[in-house]
Chain A
Amino acid sequence: DGGITQSPKYLFRKEGQNVTLSCEQNLNHDAMYWYRQDPGQGLRLIYYSQIVNDFQKGDIAEGYSVSREKKESFPLTVTSAQKNPTAFYLCASRKTGGSQETQYFGPGTRLLVL
């Protein structure tokens, strides 16, 4: 059963704590993405990766970090430097980073601050 999985579904963060959101895909897609979704706003790009061991900052990368050690995995760390982390986080992937390729999303992780 192919797809994109994200875990956990809900995540609670204490002040000053780093937390890591998991994203895995078995679609054999090269490109992976992390978005942040806030109520009433469009998706905003945090980081993206076109190939293994390479990634680029998106529009709102400050306070976040990523790694891409495996093609299937693209974890996102929300660091203590991110002062307003409460949001719905969405991971996505595409076959390649080229034009006219559909982007598919995972089910999301909701991050809440204690």
Chain B
Amino acid sequence: GESVGLHLPTLSVQEGDNSIINCAYSNSASDYFIWYKQESGKGPQFIIDIRSNMDKRQGQRVTVLLNKTVKHLSLQIAATQPGDSAVYFCAENNYGQNFVFGPGTRLSVLP
């Protein structure tokens, strides 16, 4: 069936470096994507979203890139801080159908 997945389950980066978290999706009809951040014991927090008619969207210190040709989504975090340590999920939505979530990538920021 259709699924959303992540290439790396764990990512460790030095404080101040940039982080890149990747996500592969298999449903070519998906038209809307969201990145969430989840800290331990808390609910997922919305970070940024992107629609399929765009290939890049920027927020505060975060950028999402969408490559529909290879069905790939990435989240870039600039100048990673200790507070960025969390699990990051991508989610896809197919024209109003329910979201499909990947298992997540754990980002660990090293001092």
Contacts and interface: CB of A to CB of B under 8 A. Distances in A.
Interface of A: 4, 6, 33, 40-43, 45, 48, 58, 90, 97-100, 102-108, 110
A102 B49 contact: yes
Q: Which of A42, A90, A98, A107 has the most CB of B within 10 A?
A: A42
A102 B98 contact: no
Contact of A42 (B32, B34, B104): B104
Contacts of B41: 108, 110
Contacts of A43: 44, 89, 101
A100 B31 CA distance: 7
Contacts of A4: 43
The range of chain B's interface size is 20 to 34
B51 interface: yes
Nearest to A6: B43
21 contacts: A33-B98, A42-B100, A42-B101, A43-B44, A43-B89, A45-B98, A48-B98, A58-B98, A98-B96, A99-B32, A99-B93, A100-B32, A100-B51, A102-B34, A102-B46, A103-B91, A103-B99, A105-B45, A106-B43, A107-B42, A108-B41
B34 A108 contact: no
Contact of A40 (B44, B45, B103): B103
Contacts of A48: 98
Contacts of A102: 34, 46, 49
Interface in B65-111: 89, 91, 93, 95-96, 98-104
Contacts of B89: 42-43
A42 B44 contact: no
B4 interface: yes
A99 B95 contact: yes
A4 to B, nearest CB: 8
A21 to B, nearest CB: 13
A48 B97 CA distance: 11
A43 B32 CA distance: 17
